[in-house]
A and B are shown apart, each in its own frame.
Chain A
């Protein structure tokens, strides 16, 4: 039986802030922003999942459905506070596989 695989996209982001916030606070800020812009239906439609977050560098990877990359990106652009501190979230790149993300953005951290 053919199986329909959901196409996913991985977004690499960086948090700009004076103090790098905790991963939970970043996720909360992104969820709030999506919820404000698109509502709770929107949050579920985007179907996003945090994959990893490096608290030392303020960088992370978030996964979403391939059709909703633009919406997630816009919602992340609307974040102006994280954990009641001025901050912004910049998307550094989008890819279809974690391997490509790893090679492009995280290879230097392992070296």
Chain B
């Protein structure tokens, strides 16, 4: 967005929108592999995303991280490595968190268990709770929603699965996502909207995602925040955390 356009938006009484950097934390490189990632990133950049969160398979190791660094330089977009954990129990979750926290900038937890979900929300190393499918319907209960906000976590809503669903499946998903949004609003829990794109055809522009979110009973500014301000705060927090000078929240090593 050019500076004149930003200025015009500010004059139109929407200074917030004028300054927004759109972030999609849900680009999934695990289905097409790292080879298909460049095409997705190229299109996402042309749509106006400033930062993209890329889900990597932990088995790709440093190869995936190197590729992201290269693509980030090539397209001038921020690429944030992300890992999705699907733990079977608390032990597995703790083991994976200890293993991946220092490597990946965003850690999301997917689970269908409410108990595990509560446990994950209370862990400082988890950033997102991602409940993509209907199977995880029971995991997001009022008691989970209540502790998301004080723990500075966010609930992720992936719109890709909704776009791909058909018939009864879509109806159930629409209901489930709307329920989660209203629960999150009731307890002032943060929401993050992402495309969940596994290929270029599932990518949508920021304002297209906002329009879909508005259908799901989100307010326009809420949806804009879920695609810019909230993911940006997660990325900024974790980039600061991965800085070698970072000691603990609020304590950083200063140069003398």
Q: Which residues of A contact B (CB under 8 A)?
A: 16-17, 37, 70-71, 73-74, 76-78, 80, 86-88, 90-92
Closest to B167 in A: A36
- B212 lies within 8 A of A77 (CB): yes
- A74 lies within 8 A of B211 (CB): yes
Contacting residues, chain A, for B201 (C-beta < 8 A): 16-17, 80, 86-88
CA distance A69 to B232 in the complex (A): 27
**Most chain A C-beta atoms within 10 Å of own C-beta, residue among B159, B163, B201, B203:** B201
**Most chain B C-beta atoms within 10 Å of own C-beta, residue among A71, A73, A77:** A77
B194 to chain A, nearest CB (A): 14
* A71 in contact with B208 given A77-B163, A80-B201 (CB within 8 Å): no
B190-206 toward A: CB 8 Å interface, digit per residue (1/0)? Answer: 00000000011111110
**Most chain B C-beta atoms within 10 Å of own C-beta, residue among A37, A80, A87, A88:** A88
Contacting residue for B212 out of A78, A87, A92, CB 8 A: A78
Contacting residue for B204 out of A17, A37, A88, A92, CB 8 A: A88
In the complex, whether B34 has a CB less than 8 A from a CB of chain A is no
B223 to chain A, nearest CB (A): 10
- B207 lies within 8 A of A91 (CB): yes
- B214 lies within 8 A of A70 (CB): yes
Contacting residue for B202 out of A17, A71, A74, A88, CB 8 A: A88
- B215 lies within 8 A of A37 (CB): yes
* A16 in contact with B207 given A74-B212, A74-B215, A78-B212 (CB within 8 Å): no
Chain B interface size, as a band, is 20 to 34
> How many contacts between A and B, using CB within 8 angstroms?
51
**Most chain A C-beta atoms within 10 Å of own C-beta, residue among B164, B203, B204:** B204
B201-238 toward A: CB 8 Å interface, digit per residue (1/0)? Answer: 11111011101101100001000000000000000000
> Can you report 6 A-B residue pairs in the complex whose CB atoms are below 8 A from each other?
A73-B211, A74-B214, A78-B163, A88-B201, A88-B204, A90-B47
In the complex, whether B43 has a CB less than 8 A from a CB of chain A is yes
B196 to chain A, nearest CB (A): 13
CA distance A80 to B163 in the complex (A): 7
B206 to chain A, nearest CB (A): 10
CA distance A91 to B211 in the complex (A): 11
Contacting residues, chain A, for B159 (C-beta < 8 A): 77
Contacting residues, chain A, for B204 (C-beta < 8 A): 77, 88, 90
CA distance A76 to B211 in the complex (A): 10
CA distance A90 to B208 in the complex (A): 7
B11-22 toward A: CB 8 Å interface, digit per residue (1/0)? Answer: 000000000000
* A16 in contact with B200 given A73-B207, A78-B163, A90-B205 (CB within 8 Å): yes
Closest to A73 in B: B211
Contacting residue for B205 out of A37, A71, A86, A91, CB 8 A: A91
Closest to A87 in B: B201
A38 to chain B, nearest CB (A): 9
CA distance A90 to B47 in the complex (A): 8
B218 to chain A, nearest CB (A): 11
Contacting residues, chain B, for A17 (C-beta < 8 A): 201
B224 to chain A, nearest CB (A): 12
CA distance A22 to B56 in the complex (A): 36
B178 to chain A, nearest CB (A): 13
- B211 lies within 8 A of A77 (CB): yes
- A80 lies within 8 A of B164 (CB): yes
